[in-house]
Structures are given as C-alpha cells and as structure tokens.
Copies of this chain bind each other. A is one copy, B any other.
Amino acid sequence: MMTLTQMRYFYEVCQWQNITKAAEHLHVSQPTISVAMQTLEAETGLNLFHREGRKLVVTPEGSKLLGKVNHILPQMDQLETEIQDMAHNRNHIRMALPLQIGTRFLPRILGEFRLAHPQIKLEIIETGGISALQMVEDEKLDIALTNYATGFSQKLCYQKLYDCECCFVTYPFHPLAKRKSVSFADFADEELVMLDSHFFIYRMVHDLYTAHSCKPRVIHFSPYLHTIKNLVESGICSTFLARQAVLPDENLVAVALEEPFYINSGIVTKKGRQVYEDEQQLIDYLQQITKDM
C-alpha cells in the first residue's frame, strides 16, 4: 500500500530530480528519501527512476504515477485544512446556565461576549444543575456552567470557577431578616419553599437537615426561581439560595449561615470530548469575568 508519506516524498523527488534537494525541502535526512524511494519502487514493482550517473531521471511510468499523485495530494492537503477549520470554527455552542445566577451572567454573555465574538452562535439552556449535568453527559449540551458536586459522574470534567455561598433568604419583615447570621437552630423549623430536586441547592439543604437528624419543612417545591422568590417576597415562607441569586433591587434578604455551606460552581464538560476553540474562548471569558466576582 502506497502511503501518503511515500507520495509526498515521491512528489518532491520528482520535482527536484534530486534526492538531496528533496530531503532539504522535506526537512528530513537524505538517506531517508533514498531508502523511501527504493522501498517505493520495490513495493509498487515499478522502475520509477532512472539513475544516470548521479542524476535521477523519472521514467515514463514514474511520471505516470506522478500524475496520479499530483491529483491525490492536493485533496489530502485540502482535507487537512478542512479538518483544521472544522475543529477551530465550531461556532455553535450549547450551554446550560444556572438558574440562580444565570441572571448575572446572561446579560454579559449575550451582550459583551456576543459582541466580541459575533461568529459564535450561543444556545443557552436554563435548567437545574442536575439535569444540566445529565445533558452534558448525553451530549445534548456542550458546556454547563452550573453548580455541581465533584464526582457526580466519572464521565464529566469539572473546572471550578467559584464557590457559591448559600444563604437563608427571607422577606424583610421576617424575624431573622435583621440578623447578621443565623444558626441551624434559628431556621430549622422555618417553613420553606425550595427549588426542586433537579437543583443542587435542595440536595445541600436536605443533607444539612439530615446531618442534624431532621427534615426541612418544605411546603412547596418549584423548578422556577421566579416562583420561589415570589412566594418569599409575599412573606409566606423562606428559602435557601446562593447569595448571588438575590439581586439588590429585589424585596428579599439574604442572611448568612453561621455554619456556612457552599456549592461549587464551574464549567462542566464531557470527559474525552474535544474542546473546540470557540468553546475554549467562551470558557476563558467566563473564567475572566468570574475573577472579579
């Protein structure tokens, strides 16, 4: 079987009618070409060259072969560049954004980043962390910027961006609203509305209560952050959220926990998958803007 290397070598030797020149041009040693051409002749069973003194002349059948090679090599080169292009310009990225702090990222990503990289088509899915991870694993998504528990799946790659402090969030006239911080005993019996089990925050809260051998009094689960906030603002109950999820202009109070807990937030990709250049740019951007947070 004639290899591509043989073809390239053969091509150059034919061009120069000189092995030394060909070797220099190919950045390999002269004997390499010499033996390669001998091997090629042996393998094809053709007399490709005619040695006259120390001059190499291509035989008729040599140039016939050269013709074919001249046809195939450019196609191979084109293939290479097309592969490069495909790998470098995969300008459609499907990304999950965390519901809680998505509101902070979303304007910057859709504004600043999109302006800087107009060729990149961003498809953003807002969903709970658990399902986001599942979608990345199923390759329904390219990237998830989300909360995660390390080791959720062996098939994922976790790249931490920041820690999310989890707070007790309530309405301004709640007894605990004025407190600087609250202990577990303070809020243990509070009625709660919680993001449902597709979200990491519920897992953490659940685990926290379990550690204290009791259960949270959740009166409602919702997959909608807006619903959660609405219920809390209405003074019906409280909740737990990441500090960043509570915006300044909202009628909510985020109170620190005396035993604080954190959710890892970061970029999750599927292990083994190629990270395309455009994806990498997005990741770099996210890393940069989270530095300031």
Contacts and interface: CB of A to CB of B under 8 A. Distances in A.
Contact of A86 (B41, B64, B273): B64
Nearest to A88: B45
A93 to B, nearest CB: 13
A272 B68 CA distance: 24
A112 interface: no
B83 A65 contact: yes
A72 interface: yes
Nearest to A65: B83
B83 A2 contact: yes
Contacts of A38: 272
B68 A82 contact: yes
A86 B44 CA distance: 9
A243 interface: no
Interface residues of A, number: 35
Chain A interface helix/strand/loop/mixed: helix
Nearest to A50: B139
A180 to B, nearest CB: 49
Nearest to A275: B45
A87 B72 CA distance: 20
A222 interface: no
Contact of A3 (B4, B46, B65, B75): B4
A188 interface: no
Contact of A45 (B2, B52, B272, B274): B274
Interface core residue of A38, A71, A80, A87 (most chain B CB under 10 Å): A87
A79 interface: yes
Interface of A: 1-4, 38, 41-42, 44-47, 50, 52, 61, 64-65, 68, 71-72, 75-76, 79-80, 82-83, 86-88, 90, 138-139, 272-274, 276
24 contacts: A1-B4, A1-B80, A2-B76, A2-B79, A2-B80, A2-B83, A3-B4, A4-B4, A38-B272, A45-B83, A45-B274, A46-B83, A46-B86, A46-B87, A46-B274, A47-B139, A47-B273, A52-B138, A64-B86, A65-B83, A68-B79, A68-B82, A72-B76, A72-B79
Given A46-B83, A50-B139, 16 more contacts: A3-B3, A41-B274, A42-B274, A44-B86, A44-B87, A45-B274, A45-B276, A46-B86, A46-B87, A46-B274, A47-B274, A52-B138, A61-B90, A68-B79, A72-B79, A75-B75
